[in-house]
Amino acid sequence: MTPQRKARIEAIAACRQPDLTVFMERVHKPHNVSAVLRTCDAVGIMRAHAVPAGGTLPKLNHTSGGAQRWIELVRHRDSAEGLKALKQQGFRLYAAHFSEQAIDFRTPDYTKPTAIVLGTEKFGVSDETATLVDEHIAIPMHGMAQSLNVSVATALVLYEAERQRRGAGMYEPRSLAEEPWKSLATDWIQRDLDRYRKPAPKRP
């Protein structure tokens, strides 16, 4: 590993946001899951969550840009279990969901521990999940279409979170002597070394 590569990995790890995440509820199309994870990586999310449709996540495609190597993806058996765990960790849950109670997606304070909850491409979050979250958020629509693609909507919300957090100085690099950034950088460097390490030549 070159010094430049090691420095880049450490710099990115030091800016990761452990208290910003997404929760995908049965998002089943590979290109959407991949695109969501790519945006997570771009805004510095450390860990994402998912309830797989049919029990398994789709195989990720090139849309992810390799982001799955840098984002821990935690799988949950069901939404209630996963959302309860996030609440116990102090996260406020915002579901991208059209309802009479929905507020503009730019209204919440995303500098607080935040989880963005996403539903399926066609139906959105389940009725149960809609009752379990703290708030519903919506993106203003001025056309004939009633919603955006789930990965596009995710990108808009996460970049609003990024804007708020950057303004609050939350992307200032953390010391790699502190957790969880220390372990994150160490794990990334080791995985990068393992990925490119060539096997020893076989002896005749």
Residue numbers belonging to the annotated binding site:
139, 148
Residue numbers belonging to the annotated binding site for S-adenosyl-L-methionine:
139, 148
Contacts of 58 (CB under 8 A, 6+ apart): 28, 29, 30, 33
